[in-house]
Amino acid sequence: MKQISIDEYIEYVSKYCKATSYPQIGKLYFFSYLFNQSESFKSNKSKFYDFYPATFIFNIDVKKKTFYGLNMHMIPPSDRKKWLKIIKDLTNEKPLNPKHFLKLKELIKIADFAVRNYSMTHVRKLREAPREDWSILFDDYANTTYQATMSEISAKYLSLI
């Protein structure tokens, strides 16, 4: 696993992920996020944000035009594939049923530090990652966070698990 530039990362994601207009529960998405500092730092305890999230969607609020997801970039690169495997195993059966969501809810409690609420009005260039390419997409990584380094994210992660 190696760190690459933001441009290389976005090109990499574009190669493997298809453009889409709206997210679905149980899928992994990459997107550009227009951050509103004044509104987001009120609810974001960590005081940093990810401008190009890689997020597993687990809840969508159609009325509010928002969705909740587990942002894989808030997990250190060395642990991302482990989390992806857990999520992939959990969501392997189709269709997802209530027992899957109970297990996901337990998982989300453990990974609360990486759960984010996103407004669809701030999402640009939404791209769905095919399940078979989830692992490939995390072979390399780029620092896509504003006001945080990978070391700071790792320290936050380790302090919470």
Q: Following DSSP, what letter does each residue of 115-151 receive, concatenated?
A: EEEEEGGGEEEEEEEPGGGTTGGGSEE---EES--HH
Is the pLDDT score of 44 beyond 60? Answer: no
The dihedral sign for the CA sequence 109, 27, 32, 34: negative
Is the pLDDT score of 9 beyond 60? Answer: yes
* Residue 160, pLDDT score: 53
Cα Dmax for the chain: 40
Q: Which of 46-55, 127-136, 148-157 has the lowest mean pLDDT?
A: 148-157
Q: How far is CA 31 from CA 44, 111, 156, in A?
A: 19, 20, 23
* Residue 41, pLDDT score: 46
* Residue 156, pLDDT score: 60
Tell me the pLDDT band of 65, cut-offs 50, 70 and 90. very high
Is the pLDDT score of 39 beyond 70? Answer: no
